[in-house]
Each structure stands twice: as C-alpha cells, then as structure tokens.
Structure 1
Amino acid sequence: MWSRAGLVGKLSAILAYWAFNVFTRKPMVCRAEGNDLLTLATGTHSDSGTSLLLVSPRYEGVTASWFSPDFWKGRAKPVSSGGRGGAWFVDMEPPGMVLRHYRRGGMMARFAEKAYLFTGFEQTRSVAEFRLLGQLRSLGLPVPEAVAAIAWKYRLFWYRAAILVERIPNSVTFSDSDRLSDESLWAQLGQVIRRFHDNGLNHVDLNCDNILVTGDQLYLIDFDRCKLVPESENETDSAWKQRNLERLQRSVRKRCPGLSPSQRENLWQHLLQAYHRQPSH
C-alpha cells in the first residue's frame, strides 16, 4: 500500500514529466472534407501517447505550438480577471484570440491541476467545448467562435487540454461595464439568458466574468462542462435553470461591490422580470 506521502510524491513525479513534455509533441495533420465544422489532426507518440487537434476551417496553419503562450512571445498577455489563471489574450490580426488551458480548482488542483481522467477524445473538455460552441453559433446565440482545440493523452489514462477562441472586440466583463447601474443592461441580460435557456443551454458557471459587454451587445463565454439539455428535460421551471440564476446572483454580490445592496436587488429584479417575460416571436 502506498503511504499518503508516497502517493503524493508519485503523482508529483508523473505530473512533472507531463509538464516537461506537453508542448514538445507535434501532431500529424490531416484535413476533414465536406461540410464538417472542423479539421481533425491526430498524432501518435511512442513515449507519451496521442493527441487530437480540432481546427475551424476558417483558420490555416494552426499547430500544437499555438497552444503555448511562449510561442506568441510578447503577443500573449495574461487575462487578469476571472478564472484560475491559465488564460491569455493573443494579439494577432483582428479580432485576436483568447488561449485558455483547462485547470482544476479546489482540493484536486493540489494533486492534478491540469490533468484529467481520459475516457476518450470525444469526452475531453476541449473537444466538448469546441463542438458545443459550434452548436450554439448554429442556433444564432451570442458566443465567440472556436478557433481550435487540443487534447494531449498521456500515460495512465490522463490528458491535458487547451482551447483557442476568437476574442470579442472592445468587450469588458459584465461587472466592469460602465453601464452596470443601467436597468436596461440587466433587463437585456435577462433576455439573453432566457434565449440560452430556451435553447437548452445549461451554463454551469454563469458568473459576471463569463458575460461580456461590447457596445449594445452581450455575449456568454467559457462553456467548459456546459451542455445542451435534451428537450424532454427543458421545462420552464427546470432546476438547472434556477441553479444557473443562483450562481449568477452569488457572483453579482461578490463582483459588483460598487452597487449598494438595494441597487443590486432592484437591478436583479429587472433581470428576473425580463427573463420571465414571454419571448416575442
């Protein structure tokens, strides 16, 4: 039996090996044909496993190196708000991109911050989010376009993952908007959330940092672990919808300290009123 200290040491050694190797493997590339939303690339490495790269057909020349901030040198700048680190704004021809590495939070981050159990490439977090973004855009919902996603499979059934998405130009997070005290902004957000819910999107991390404001438009971002709920489970009073709203309300209390409690409550009621209003067709 492994002692606790021995197990921690073993896991640390394995993760150190992965960290050294992760950006040095080059997948072989092949193009998908037809009307597929993506380009597939797979690579096999005798010493470290396999990788899968998905690329939007609008982008050429994407390689595994694109997922390392070092590749972009001074053009990759860390995202300062939200998340657990591991995200960068990449300065390239407009609109630019956001690079995000998938990372754990909580206690598990102490043992495997970037490693996840591998059960197949279709179940990896980057592939799932890449495909979901394509589905949401096909539904006409305001989300960024996925540029590329990658998953690296390593020994002992683990993988690491990253995604690149287009940046929303001239956008700020909801809590940083200069319209934060504007009742119409909160009503607009209520209507946007309702659109996503009506289409079955369960955003499990709906918070102020995952809502972007640009001009008169609102976007939702960061769909890690999110999913489209089957129509049979998409009732008006579904529990998952209430959990989304409760998650956002907790974030508002934390991320909008400039609003007084009475202001927050008033603005939140405007959001709920717009959310519950019957959509016009």
Structure 2
Amino acid sequence: MPQIINISPNAALLISDQTKPLTSSWFDPEFWRLQKAPIGTGKTLLGTGAGRGEVWFINSLFGQFVIRRYRRGGLVGKFNKSSFLFTGQEKTRPWLELSLLEHMNALGLPVPKPIAGSYSVNKGFYQATLLTETIEDAEDLFDIIKSIKRDQIPWQEIGKVVKRFHDNGIYHSDLNCHNIMIDSQNKIWVIDFDKCEQREPNSKWVQSNIDRLKRSLDKESKNHANFHVSSKQWQAFLEGYHG
C-alpha cells in the first residue's frame, strides 16, 4: 500500500517509490520546466513549452516518468473536468490505482512502475494526480498498426499477455489499442489502470474485456484509412490468448 504523507489538513502525497526525494512540486510540470528537465506532451519530449492536455512526460535527473492528472470523461466531463466526490482516502483514484499497480508489479505483470500520487480536497471534492515510470522505447498498438511495422506485431504474444492479466483477476475497464504498448525488445505492456480492479475471474467479464479490445480495433479501422487489423491477425491474438 502507498505510504501516506499529509502535506496539509486537506491534501496528501501517496508514495509507492520511497527511493525518490518526492515533494508536492513533482506533480507540477512547471517545476520541472524551471529545473530545465525536458518536458513532453503526447509522445515527444520537448525542451520548452507548456503541456497540452493533462499528461506530461518528464525526463529528469531522477529518471523518466509520466505526470497524469485525473480527468472526467463523457457528458459529466463537459462541465466538471477534474473534480471527484471525496469519500475517503482509500477510495481516491490515485490510491486505488497505485495499490493495484503495486500488486501487479509484485505479480510480475508488465505494467508501469508506480511512483506516487497526490490529491487535495476542497468543499467535499478532490482533484488528483499520478506519477508512474515511463516505459522506455515503446509505442502504443494504435500507432504501430498505422505504421510500416504493422506486419511485425506479435499478435499471439499480445493474446498471451492479456490472458496473464485475466488469470490473475485483473479487470481493465478500458482495454483498447491505445493502452497496449510494445517496446523495442517486442515486450508487451499494458497501461492506464484508472478505474480498474482485481476481481474473481469469470467468463463474463473476461469476454467483455476481449470484446472491448476488438471494438476499439474496429472503431479505429473505420476512422483511419491506414489502420487495419486482418481477421488472420485477430485470430492470432485469440490463439495466443487461448493457448
């Protein structure tokens, strides 16, 4: 479980990696800009410039990591972008995600290493941020499918990795082609475990996870002319999954 450091009556740091000299400043991209650490948004590290959106990639003397501010999606997100009802520290999104990442790392699953989280409460609602280590030399499956490397994708291995998560009861609430990454050594990684959890394995939610991934592939195929996954490739995924 994360170590708790209360920095005020209404704010706390949740520390998973106790080897780093973490402070609340670490969660602010402007702090790293002043330290002259390269800061990137999207997939490119930039030397200067403000972060666009809510994800920043930091290349610092303490290593490479990702700052991610929790945001709401859907209709609610149109008028409330980043505030969540506070019902206790152990129900905050960074606490839950850090705890799950710690557990998955202990199981040896290919997920980012958790560093820390933070939250602050105001009038019964909280805002929160997460720090995780960067997966080096990796691209997400979406970008690889669109590239000239699409025929080199190890679909069977992707299926085997997804099966490992399911065998360990890890439910990914948004398994899609953006949350699967492949590094330069062809290792498969899974990222973004916000609102995910450990469950007792059963065929219903396991199949829903697989169906969700397939829907994401079909959706991107309709939206991008250079995005295509053949029935043979999907069959290779299923063969890897089912062994």
Alignment of 1:121-270 (within 5 A): 121-155=89-123, 157-177=124-144, 179-182=149-152, 185-214=154-183, 215-230=185-200, 234-235=201-202, 237=203, 239-255=204-220, 257=224, 258-260=226-228, 263-270=229-236
State yes or no: 1:56 paired with 2:16: yes
Moved over 6 A (4+): none
**Aligned partner of 1:270: which letter?**
A
Q: Scaled by the length of structure 2, what TM-score is found?
A: 0.86
Q: Scaled by the length of structure 1, what TM-score is found?
A: 0.75
**Aligned partner of 1:217: which letter?**
K
Q: Is the 8 A contact 2:16 2:102 kept in 1?
A: no
TM-superposed deviation, 1:108: 0.5
Instruction: Return the index of the structure with the highest Cα Rg.
Output: 1
Q: Is the 8 A contact 2:2 2:98 kept in 1?
A: no
**Aligned partner of 2:113: which letter?**
E
Deviations 1:45-94 (A, max 9, x none): 4xxxx11211234433211111111111162221259xx93111111147
Identify the residue that residue 119 of structure 1 maps to in structure 2.
87
Number of equivalenced pairs = 226
Identify the residue that residue 49 of structure 2 maps to in structure 1.
none
Structure 1 stretches lacking a partner, 5+ long? 1-36
**Structure 1 CA distance for aligned equivalents of residues 77 and 19 of structure 2:** 33
Alignment of 1:72-111 (within 5 A): 72-73=32-33, 75-79=38-42, 85-93=53-61, 95-111=63-79
**Structure 2 CA distance for aligned equivalents of residues 64 and 245 of structure 1:** 38
RMSD, aligned CA: 2.0
Q: Is the 8 A contact 1:207 1:251 kept in 2?
A: yes
Q: Is the 8 A contact 2:5 2:13 kept in 1?
A: yes
Relative to its length, the structure with more strand (as a share) is 2
State yes or no: 1:271 paired with 2:237: yes
Distance 1:201 1:272, change over 3 A: same
**Structure 2 CA distance for aligned equivalents of residues 94 and 143 of structure 1:** 20
**Structure 2 CA distance for aligned equivalents of residues 142 and 94 of structure 1:** 22
**Structure 2 CA distance for aligned equivalents of residues 96 and 44 of structure 1:** 28
Identity of aligned residues (%): 35
DSSP-derived class of the 1:181 partner: helix
Identify the residue that residue 65 of structure 1 maps to in structure 2.
25
**Structure 2 CA distance for aligned equivalents of residues 94 and 141 of structure 1:** 24
Relative to its length, the structure with more helix (as a share) is 1
TM-superposed deviation, 1:44: 2.7
**Structure 1 CA distance for aligned equivalents of residues 119 and 88 of structure 2:** 10
Identify the residue that residue 48 of structure 2 maps to in structure 1.
none
Q: Is the 8 A contact 2:2 2:95 kept in 1?
A: no
**Aligned partner of 2:20: which letter?**
E
**Aligned partner of 2:3: which letter?**
T
DSSP-derived class of the 2:174 partner: coil
Higher relative contact order (CA 8 A, sep 6+): 2
TM-superposed deviation, 1:133: 0.2
